[in-house]
Structure 1
Amino acid sequence: MDVNECVSFLLVDSNKVLLEKRAMNKATDPGLITIPGGHIENNETREQALLREMIEELDINPTSYTFLCTLYHPTEELQLIHYYVVDAWTGNIQSQEAEQLQWCDLDGELPVGIEADNVAIGEYVRLFNRLK
């Protein structure tokens, strides 16, 4: 089975993370609540894909980001998702592809539909709480 590399970004503001409800016409994970992201295209670096996906998904540019972790997500394809934390950006967030965007409190129950996303959020919370 081929592995398709992707990037996802935890957009964080204070103690909240931005999640999206994927459109029903998406090939992978239609209708699920997820961390925004997308596929790395030919000859792109992870960081180039991150910058492109943030513009495509939300029409914003990150000004501060850091790598968090990499996890597999088996769906219609096997994805290797590289997660980044983005804590500063320029532009106004606009949903370009998702059906809906929502800010969710990291202290509460998150409605995330992908196990890899849940693990990545858990890793962020574990590290964030340790660094407080």
Structure 2
Amino acid sequence: MQPNECVSFLVISDGKILLEKRSELREVDPGTINIPGGHIENDETQSQALYRELSEELGIVPITYHFLCSLYHPTSELQLIHYYVVTSWEGEAQPFEAEDISWYSLAEAPVGINVDKVALSEFKRVSGSLGIAL
């Protein structure tokens, strides 16, 4: 089975992470609180998808970002999610595609899917090497 590639973004500011609450009507992971992201479109690079998805999902443009890791997420489709950490951006984040967005402390971020929990754990492990203080 060929995985569908996606990008997800840990938007980080002052020791907090921006998470989304997915609509109950979504086919994949309905109603969960998770790290925002979306599918990479045909002939699109990960970086291009990151810019497009940040704009579509939150209405922001990344200024500083770092690749974090890639993880598989088996849902109704097999997804390969490429996680990025976004530490500076232009614009004010708004929930364009999610039911709601909220800031959470990194220590208590209530992510609802296992793959996001692994990505968040990896971020905490390597944040110092990325030059990000927790």
TM class by smaller structure = over 0.9
Q: How high is the TM-score relative to the length of structure 1?
A: 0.95
Which letter maps to 1:92? E
Q: CA RMSD in A?
A: 1.2
User: What is the CA distance between 1:45 and its match in structure 2?
Assistant: 0.2
Segments of 5+ residues of structure 1 without an aligned counterpart are: none
Can you give the 5+ residue segments of structure 2 that lack an aligned partner in the other structure?
A: none
Q: Following the alignment from structure 2 to structure 1, what is the Cα–Cα distance between the partners of residues 103 and 19?
A: 6
User: SS of the residue aligned with 2:107?
Assistant: coil
Alignment coverage as a number of residue pairs = 131
Structure 1 residue aligned with 2:21: 21
Q: Output the TM-score relative to the length of structure 2.
A: 0.93
Q: Distance in 1 between matches of 2:110 and 2:63?
A: 27
1:38-49 mapped onto 2 (5 Å cutoff): 38-49=38-49
- Which portions of structure 1, spanning 4 or more consecutive aligned residues, are displaced by more than 6 angstroms? none
Cα deviation, 1:22-68, whole Å, max 9, x if unaligned, reads 11222211111110000000000000000000000000000000100
SS at match of 1:66: strand
**In structure 2, what is the Cα distance between the partners aligned to 1:31 and 1:72?**
20
Percent identical among aligned pairs is 56
SS in 2 for 1:107: helix
Question: Could you say what secondary structure the match of 2:55 adopts?
Answer: helix
